[in-house]
Amino acid sequence: MDALFTNTLGLRMIRIESGSFLMGQADGDLDERPVHPVRITRAFHLAATPVTNAQYEQFDGRHRGFRGRRGLSAGDNEAALFVTWHDAVAFCRWLSDHEGRPYRLPTEAEWEYACRAGTTTAYSTGEMLSDVYHRDQKDDWHPRPVDLTVGRTPANPWGLHDMHGLVEEWCSDWYGRYEAEEQIDPVGRVMGLFRLTRGGSHNTGLEQLRSANRAGTLPEDCHWLIGFRVVAAEELTTEPLPAERPKLWAINVAQPVATKTIHVAQPPSAAPAKQDSPSAAPFFLPPIVFVRPPADPDSVPIYPHNHCPSITWCDNGDLLAAWFSTRSEFGREMTVLAARLRRGADQWDEAAEFFKAPDRNMTGTSLFNDGTGTLYHFNGLEAGGLWRNLALVMRTSVDHGATWSTPRLINPEHQARNQVISGTKRTREGCFIQPCDGVHDAAGGTAIHVSRDGGRTWVDPGAGTPSPNFVVGGTGGSIAGIHAGVEQLADGSLLALGRTCDLPAADAAVGLRMPASRSADMGASWTYQPSPFPPIYNGQRLALLRLREGPLLLASFTDSSLKLDHPEGMLITDAAGRLLRIFGLFVALSFDEGATWPAIRPVTMPGAARQLEGGAWTGAFTFDATHGEPRGYLAITQSPDFTIHLISSRLHYRFNLAWARGPMENAM
């Protein structure tokens, strides 16, 4: 085997000798541990540089349409971007046929072995990476144009260029946690959700460029951060590691015989015996915690900031909740965790990882039961860090959330209008509606994605509409305000309530109100009016739900987070007919399709004041008859037993319509 050869595409192939190394980094990310010995028993040739535009386009000339996209990689000798894992594999097959020798993608172990080139430090250059390798190494809302010409930075000790940065590079492996034992010619897990990438890229933080750093995404995904390089060698025949063990939310999930019929599930044991009638007696149960850290913190990547939840009911009587966990809302470490409240249980299971593309921000989750035995999970998938350039992912479950279908990109474009909001809905006509934050600027707005064929295809009906004019009587292609809740009205139109974009009330003395948006064309255009409710702001999210009994229910807050130091509260009438000022979380009911909201009460309970912890942006707060949670991100569902389940960033509240519509208990 030659030490070096240049193939017909001009790729310089460097011989990498067999050997051993320690894979991973002890003080790196959780998925880089445990550090473990690896033996590479076969020499292989690895391309000295990533595949360029000119080289890739000899295989697929259509790729020229991606040159210069996002202001990147327009030249012949710049790294090819916007290549899926499947595209990269197909290129290797084509090149094998073209050259008469086998080509493939490197395994993750081969890639790290070659990147380290005999070193044990964070980078092959040492513990620091000098400026000559930097290509605007920080995450930002938009990628900044940089030169991606291959081979211009110094080679590592084994003659390989661009291993630290330039572009992430596809590897052949499925992503999975490491094993501690020595691995010989490892090929990763037998199955998984995400294919691995290595090396980091331009427009990302320096820590992503470390030799041990692991990233990855769905194999169908492609964007401006990922390219690839090739190996000239036969496929490895190593037995892959087994699939990872099921997570707690997937273990011992009850599977009733009938799963595809609408039925009335039994309530949790903590609720009254059975609430299968709108005329049931009112009840409100003390809040319980649904974000429960695992007993072994090393087993689950749980972080201090747990936020942005969603909740749905399962046909077997369980509840399933999911939320993101992170150090920073802009962080690549962000993961989506889940927990299950099993039928008959009085506390939620401990949190376990639910959905995580390595080294990608995962902002936004929604869970939904379509009423016919199918659960839906929608999630954002970032190109890198932050949470603007998100693709939209969907998967389904027909066994109460125990297993899920292969994730599918229902909007593969990484863009601002794909930040998932909890609150998936299904219209009377069978259309699915998925709200997503759509405009991240001073105005702010919410988009909706609509499927008219059971989730097979999706459109963003407002995407082509002119920019919204968020004023009273204005129109546009987005809902006024971010984090909006959406519901269909009796006439088929849509009503949405949102955060920010506050609008003045008709009575100037009232001041600004939460914006209400209406659409008569399934989200292609919206008109804007003030609602009767106070505005909300940072750290707060409303929830809007059509109850099974018919009324609309809104959950929100009496004061915006800007007023928590001097809250104004809201005046209501208690059971004795006295005016009472309430503060914090409240629910309101409309029996006339949102025209009026005559029933309003706080989400509180009588009794001595208690201190509760709301987590995330909420923190500790006083909970008594008139003071509820002052902020939090709300999500809501109503199970077939008519119990309303409202969660904030940490707490789970349970009540029914009779309680929500009744007068508040005497507080004095």
Instruction: Quickly tell me which residue has 């009085």 as its tokens.
Output: 346
User: Band of the pLDDT at 153, cuts 50, 70, 90?
Assistant: very high
Domain span at residue 74? 4-232
Joined together, the tokens standing for residue 613 give 């912890």
In which band, very low, low, confident or very high, does the pLDDT at 468 lie, cut at 50, 70 and 90? Answer: confident
E strand or H helix that includes residue 497? strand 494-499
**Residue 116 lies inside a defined structural domain of this protein:** yes
The candidate with the shortest Cα–Cα distance to 100, out of 188, 220, 287, 232, is: 232
56 and 31 co-located in one domain: yes
Q: List, in sequence order, every residue forming a beta bridge with 183; answer none if it has no partner.
A: 38
Amino acid in the structure at residue 448? I
Q: Is residue 621 part of a domain?
A: yes
| Predicted confidence band of residue 667 (pLDDT cuts 50, 70, 90) | low
Q: Pairing relation of β-strands 425-426 and 432-439?
A: antiparallel
Residue 264: band (very low, low, confident or very high) from pLDDT cuts 50, 70, 90: very low
Measured distance between the N- and C-terminal CA atoms of the chain, rounded to whole angstroms: 89
**pLDDT at residue number 663:** 87
- Per residue in 433-442, pLDDT (tens digit) is 999 997 655 5
Alpha-carbon gap, residue 141 to 599, rounded angstroms: 42
262 within some domain: no
Q: Grade residue 665 by pLDDT with cuts at 50, 70 and 90.
A: confident
pLDDT tens-digit readout, 602-616: 999 998 999 999 999
Shared-domain flag, residues 523 and 636? no
Q: Which among 531, 564, 588 is the end of a domain? A: 531
Phi-psi label, residue 558: left if phi above 0, alpha if psi -120 to 50, beta otherwise: alpha
Domain edge (last residue) among 531, 549, 573: 531
Residue 279 inside a domain? The answer is no
Domain contains 655 = no
Answer for the pair 411, 379: CB distance below 8 angstroms, yes or no: no
Same domain, 397 and 444: no
Q: Are residues 225 and 89 in the same domain?
A: yes
**Bridge partner residues of 310 (DSSP):** 322
- Considering the domain architecture, whether residues 368 and 225 belong to the same structural domain is answered as no
Q: What is the CATH number of the domain that holds 299?
A: 2.120.10.10
- Do residues 411 and 452 share a domain? no
Give the Cα separation of 352 and 653 in Å (integer). Answer: 21
Tell me which of 245 and 2 has the higher pLDDT: 245
Alpha-carbon gap, residue 54 to 585, rounded angstroms: 59
Q: Which helix (H) or strand (E) holds 36?
A: strand 36-40
User: How sure is the predictor about 443, in pLDDT bands with cuts at 50, 70 and 90?
Assistant: low
How far, in Å, are 140, 326, 449, 620 from residue 331 at the CA level?
A: 11, 7, 25, 24
> Does 371 map to a domain?
yes
How many domains does the structure of the chain reveal?
A: 4
> Looking at residue 123, what DSSP letter applies?
B
Q: Are strands 183-184 and 36-40 parallel, antiparallel or unpaired?
A: parallel
Euclidean distance between CA atoms 182 and 421, whole angstroms? 43
Contact between 39 and 182 under an 8 Å Cβ cutoff? The reply is yes
Whether 67 shows a pLDDT value over 50: the answer reads yes
Boundary-marking domain end, from 405, 420, 435: 420
Q: Report the helix count and the strand count for the chain, using DSSP H and E.
A: 4, 46
* Per-residue pLDDT band at 288 (split at 50, 70, 90): very high
pLDDT, mean over the chain:
94
Q: Confirm whether 650 is domain-assigned.
A: no
**Residue 630 placed within a domain:** yes
CA–CA gap between residue 426 and residue 371 (Å, rounded): 10
- The position carrying tokens 């006083």 is 622
Q: Are residues 184 and 75 in the same domain?
A: yes
Top-confidence residue, 375 or 139: 375
What is the pLDDT confidence band of residue 1, given thresholds at 50, 70 and 90? low
The pLDDT assigned to 401 comes to 98
Whether residues 554 and 605 fall in one domain: yes
**Is 0.85 topped by the overall pTM?**
yes
Q: Contact 322/337 with Cβ under 8 angstroms?
A: yes
Same domain, 214 and 108: yes
Residues 521 and 539 in one domain: no
Kind plus residue range of the DSSP H or E element containing 661:
helix 657-661
Regarding whether 437 and 382 lie in a shared domain, the answer is no
Q: What is the domain-level CATH number for residue 8? A: 3.90.1580.10
Same domain for 414 and 449, yes or no, is: no
